[in-house]
Amino acid sequence: MPNVLITGCSSGIGRALADAFKTAGYNVWATARRTEDVTALAAAGFTAVQLDVNDGAALKALAENVGELDVLINNAGYGAMGPLLDGGTEAMQHQFETNVFAIVGVTQAFFPAIRRSKGLVVNIGSVSGVLVTPFAGAYCASKAAVHALSDALRMELAPFGVRIMEVQPGAIDTSFAKNAGTQAELLINEQSPWWPLRDSIRARAKASQDRPTPASAFAADVLKAVQQRTPPRLLRSGNGSRALPWMAALLPKGLLEKGLMKRFGLSGVL
């Protein structure tokens, strides 16, 4: 039975991936931060582990117990929404710690296991790393970084027989928008220069749920790609996952920015 370890399985994409791989006959190591989520995962039949992906000691301890690993899916992450200067460097640091630094830390910890099996590392990025929007700068930057480090890892791990597949989801039906909205509300206040645009900030937080693809359908696409003899280096799945990168590549940058500024209320003067 092949082994897969998936981070961030409490809900949404992570839980859908865990369900899909379990149904396909994999032994699924499913991680989550909160005790109640780990309990629910264990009850569902997964090898459930409480894990903070930023905890190096916990990663090392878990890696020693896993043994051989065929697939590692770096899924844990969240979206920091709001103006970049409102969140400042502190918000950026927290965003990168979970969305970027943790991918390197998790992959480093499990590299011996994935190397033994000449397995596959799957990094969950986002189309937001390709088409950058206002009021999501920290999140977009973190996902752009995921794309860059995936390319670097692909080349660096190739001599060991370890492959890298990057996934760029579009709109997926998860609690992402709700959680992103909560993050945005923490920043929105009357002292912000962008206070008059608070409704536009909230709209950006909800944009990821624009006609979303079911998480189960997205997970099925990832599973199918993983099971190919030669998994693709890049998989795009979900509503907008192809159209948005196409727009970013083909539209003049100035025209694209004007369109995004108009959509999110930035065309006027504050």
**In the predicted structure, residue 202 carries a pLDDT above the cut 90:** no
Distance CA 174, CA 156 (A): 33
Q: Per-residue pLDDT averaged across 244-255, rounded? A: 94
Tokens of 113: 């296991």
HSE-CB of 58 using CA atoms within 13 angstroms: 12
Tokens of 252: 């003049």
Residues 42-89 have pLDDT tens digits of 999 999 999 999 999 999 999 999 988 999 999 999 988 999 999 999
Picking from 56-70, 108-122, 194-208, which range would have the lowest pLDDT averaged per residue?
Answer: 194-208
**In the predicted structure, residue 15 carries a pLDDT above the cut 90:** yes
- Amino acid identity, position 218: F
**In the predicted structure, residue 219 carries a pLDDT above the cut 90:** yes
**In the predicted structure, residue 183 carries a pLDDT above the cut 70:** no
* Axis-axis angle for helices 56-66, 102-116 (nearest 10): 20
Is 85 within 8 Å of 70 (Cβ atoms)? no
Tell me which architecture the domain covering 3-263 has in CATH. Answer: 3-Layer(aba) Sandwich (3.40)
For the CA atoms of 16, 51, 140, 177, the dihedral, rounded to the nearest 10 degrees, stands at 50
**In the predicted structure, residue 177 carries a pLDDT above the cut 60:** no
* Model-wide pTM > 0.75: yes
Is 83 within 8 Å of 17 (Cβ atoms)? no
The residues that are catalytic are: 139, 143
Q: Where are the domains of the chain?
A: 3-263
